[in-house]
A and B are shown apart, each in its own frame.
Chain A
Amino acid sequence: MADQAAASRPARAWARPAVGLAVVLLVALGALAAVAARGPAPASTPAERVHAIATGLRCPVCRDLSVADSPAPLAQQMRNQIAEGLAAGKSPEAIRREFVAAYGESVLLVPARRGVGLVAWVAPALLLAGGVLAAVLAVRRWRARGAAPAASSPSAPGTSRADKVLLERALARFEDPP
């Protein structure tokens, strides 16, 4: 195989391109970090400020569209209400509170980060963390097995996949459940 040949070459043969790649990667990550540090553009025009609030509100008559997206007349009214609120100097949070008071908590398109709503935010992170842990442990176990003397493993090189399945199946008939 070509990669075996490459691996057996002296380390310096690939060290130079690797350094080059590392520099390229660093430049890209640096640019990304700069973008992140600069932060999103502040909503400057009144229309943009209305839009920013409206995307977080549910259009009460259409369920799956935000107030910003919905073409429904009620959504238009709500956008006007947001614009009036902003013109009167209210903060976005105060405007959101007004809508919650009028339409209930379900007018917010995102569950609150407290109470039951917290579950929706924490569960994905917990699952991902658990999954990463399980995957890392599994890969480590599989690698350790790869390093162990091959003869003791049924997946020793030279054993074809078909042989292995047959062997597994035969063994399974004699083993007791764990």
Chain B
Amino acid sequence: MDRLGRYALLLALALAAWGLLAAVVGLRRQRPLAVESARTTAFALLAVVAAANGAMLAALLSDDFTLRYVAQNSSRATPTFFKVLALWSADDGSLLLWNLVLAGYLAAVAFRFRRYRPEALPGALAVMYAVAVFYLLLVSGPSEPFATLAAPPDGRGPTPLLQNHPLMAVHPPFLYLGFVGLTVPFAFAIAGLVSDGLSDRWVALTRRWTLAVWCFLTVGLLLGALWSYSVLGWGGYWAWDPVENAALLPWLVATALLHSVMLQERRGMLAVWNLSLAVGAFALATFGTFLTRGNVLLSVHTFATSSVGPMYLGFLVLVLAGGFGLIATRAWRLRAPGRIDAVLSREASFVGNNLLLLTLTFVVLLGTVFPLAVEATSGRQVTVGGPYFRRTTVPLLLLLLFLAGVGPLLPWRSGSAGRLTRRLRLPLGASAALVLVLAVGGLRNPAAVAAFGLATFVGVANLAEIGAGLRVAVRTGSRRRPAAALGALLRGRRRYGGLLVHVGLALAALAITASSTLARQTDLTLSRGASAGFAGYTLRYEGMRTLRQPQRTVLVTDVGVAKDGRDLGRMSPSLNLYPSASEPIGTPSIRTSPLRDLYASVVGVEQEGERATFRFFLNPGVTWLWVGGAVMVLGGLLAVWPTRRPPAAPRPAVPSARRREPAVVDRG
């Protein structure tokens, strides 16, 4: 298996190098044949990288401990499901998956532009192949996934935290789809910059790609938060861990980009700014993987050491210097004189949106690298943790919420105060009523009151916009009501998708505010049979069971839950003992309900389970974070869904005579 994998990676490297060469030749010498070769090579590359991943998977499933990676990250007792997941549970394997995703995007670009060949295609392919060459060099040199050793009798098994929850099956792949996907807008942006015609068509070409990538990133972040909430047992879902921050940074910039490209599409403004955002998003995604894989940080996410750091740093410098260098030397010619008709306009709100998102990005980046920078320069150790991030980001987030409510109400070009006033009536009224109720009700945290008010404002404003649009469609449409509304929703999917994302954002903001400011917690040590009260619940420790599983021993504690004398059943937080871990790993037990979660984790057991120490949390509203996140992704998907009507993009000049399938157009 190691030979197959290693040869596959070498072949992949050769293919990527060929693709790069062919694309560059095709670009410089205007050779369509070379471009065609570069395009089709992408499919071969995908097949070969998939073979390398398959080889690793086969080795994992067949307990081939001659492979160092398998010996370190799997064991005979590991359940099959987690053997598969071990493919991405450590650095070397996850780089293999990374390469697979990148090759997948290359093939997707090659397939998407099989008939319609934009001018930027050869350049974009060249950039993507160059990135692929870098990542393939990583796995054939500094990181050696197929390194062998004298086979030990059994492997060490995956890191306990990673084999503790099935969410690990989906969280990393989605994040990778997001991170790697940012290569596509980056590649087309660079291609436009280096082409003779100096085109800015990348915005139109990659708009839906960027949107899809944004959806992947959002899902990845949400799954990460859900994993943290349901595995780590500390009652929270976001710890401002450097690696969480590293995943948040590209999301913030991608969100800014999705908003500001609309200014370029509609008004021809900000061409240079958008190029910088595309380069910045890709650079931050690279930086994030550098942080996690380069062993720079010690955090829950840094599971292994590897020597890929310096190469990453070099690549990052190349991306930044190359990208911004090109922008500085060539992009000025793309500058168009910007024009705004009024301050009360959609355009101005997008400027504010970008300002806030970029400041937010800077603050999170600063807080993440600050300890590293201080330690590198002065040798002193400082910590930048949750309290810092909360204090610096909450004001910015509140302002962003305000814009997410007002922005969609403002029309393009110029708004009239009258129209705005009419549209503000309902959302502002609802939000003011809530603020008043909360203030009278005795909530004493001004930031929380403001956040509740603003989130209500955003939700009502955007829902009302959707409602108003659909009502007009129903009134003027000739079809039956639901059909007319659905038709309007699908016709205006870009607009309604965006509004729906804002509705999801409002739900998530409500949930985050409620759970971070109204949560309660307690530590209780209970003897078997004893009970204690917490937040209206009666919690009774019923005893401990021991489950022996092949790969671990699970100590399950049973806690009976009752409220107002009514039995609500049982919660069973557990401690998992893995042979490879010195400390037990907890699994919390969560009773979810729409309004509040009762969350129990067991901290320790004494005297064979006669006494146990628990940590209980009452977390209000967490469910709505997942619901809100799902609505955001739904809105993104609505906006990304292809339109049947082709927009006014130039069709290929010469239609292929041999085309057999009906021409289903899915461009944009």
Contacts and interface: CB of A to CB of B under 8 A. Distances in A.
Interface of A: 1-4, 6-7, 9, 13-14, 17-18, 20-21, 24-25, 27-28, 31-32, 34-36, 38-41, 47, 51, 55-56, 58, 63-66, 69-71, 73, 76, 104-112, 116-117, 119-121, 123-124, 127-128, 131-132, 135, 138-139, 141-143, 145-146, 153-155, 161, 164-165, 168-169, 172, 175, 177-178
A110 B385 contact: yes
Given A32-B446, A38-B444, A64-B385, A25 B299 contact: no
Contact of B351 (A4, A14, A119, A135): A135
A108 B383 contact: yes
Given A107-B383, A135-B351, A161-B268, A65 B446 contact: no
B458 to A, nearest CB: 15
Given A131-B359, A155-B339, A172 B381 contact: no
Given A58-B385, A71-B615, A124 B336 contact: no
**Interface size class of chain B, counting residues whose CB lies under 8 Å from the partner chain:** 35 or more
Interface string B365-391: 011001100100010111111111001
Interface stretch (B45-53, B135-143, B284-292, B415-423): B415-423
Given A66-B385, A105-B382, A165-B268, A73 B604 contact: yes
A45 B420 CA distance: 48
Given A110-B384, A154-B337, A161-B268, A64 B241 contact: yes
Given A21-B421, A73-B604, A111-B383, A142 B429 contact: no
A90 B109 CA distance: 65
Contacts of B268: 155, 161, 164-165
A35 B444 contact: yes
Contacts of A36: 446
Contact of B450 (A32, A64, A110): A32
Nearest to A171: B333
Contacts of B391: 110
Interface of B: 197-200, 233-236, 239-242, 265-269, 298-300, 332-334, 336-343, 347-348, 351-352, 355, 358-359, 362-363, 366-367, 370-371, 374, 378, 380-388, 391-392, 396, 411, 414-419, 421-422, 424-425, 428-429, 431-432, 435-436, 438-440, 443-446, 449-450, 453, 521-523, 586, 601, 603-604, 615
B87 to A, nearest CB: 26
A178 B328 CA distance: 12
B387 A139 contact: no
5 contacts: A69-B235, A106-B381, A154-B337, A168-B334, A169-B199
Nearest to A73: B604
A120 B366 contact: yes
Nearest to B430: A24
A7 B317 CA distance: 52
B355 A145 contact: no
Contact of A27 (B347, B384, B432): B432
Given A3-B411, A139-B348, A142-B340, A31 B436 contact: yes
A105 B414 CA distance: 53
A14 B385 contact: no
Given A64-B239, A143-B342, A131 B355 contact: yes
B547 to A, nearest CB: 21
Nearest to B338: A142
B370 A111 contact: yes
Given A128-B396, A143-B342, 20 more contacts: A18-B421, A24-B432, A35-B446, A64-B240, A64-B241, A65-B239, A71-B586, A108-B382, A109-B388, A110-B384, A110-B391, A111-B383, A112-B382, A116-B374, A123-B366, A127-B362, A139-B348, A143-B340, A143-B341, A169-B197
Contacts of A178: 332
A45 B657 CA distance: 81
A48 to B, nearest CB: 10
Contacts of B414: 3
A133 to B, nearest CB: 10
Contacts of A56: 387
A139 B440 CA distance: 40
A135 B425 contact: no
A44 to B, nearest CB: 12
A128 B392 CA distance: 11
A84 B234 CA distance: 23
Contact of A165 (B200, B234, B236, B438): B200
B385 A17 contact: no
Contacts of B234: 65, 69-71
B336 A164 contact: yes
Nearest to B439: A31
Nearest to B395: A128
Contacts of A17: 421-422, 425
Nearest to B457: A28
A66 B386 contact: yes
B387 A110 contact: yes
A35 B443 contact: yes
Given A24-B432, A36-B446, A71 B603 contact: yes
Contacts of B432: 24-25, 27-28, 31
Contact of A40 (B378, B419, B444, B521): B444
B42 to A, nearest CB: 29
B418 A9 contact: yes
A21 B603 CA distance: 52
The 10 A-B residue pairs whose C-beta atoms are closest, nearest first, are A14-B418, A109-B385, A28-B432, A172-B333, A31-B439, A106-B381, A7-B416, A36-B446, A142-B340, A3-B419
Contact of A58 (B355, B378, B383, B438): B383
B236 A168 contact: no
A31 B384 contact: no
A104 B381 contact: yes
A34 B355 CA distance: 30
B562 to A, nearest CB: 23
A154 B337 CA distance: 8
Contacts of B415: 3
A71 B269 CA distance: 51
B386 A109 contact: yes
B588 to A, nearest CB: 9
A116 B418 contact: no
A178 B382 CA distance: 45
A56 B586 CA distance: 24
Contacts of B269: 142
Given A24-B429, A35-B449, A63-B298, A168 B233 contact: no
Contacts of A69: 234-236, 239
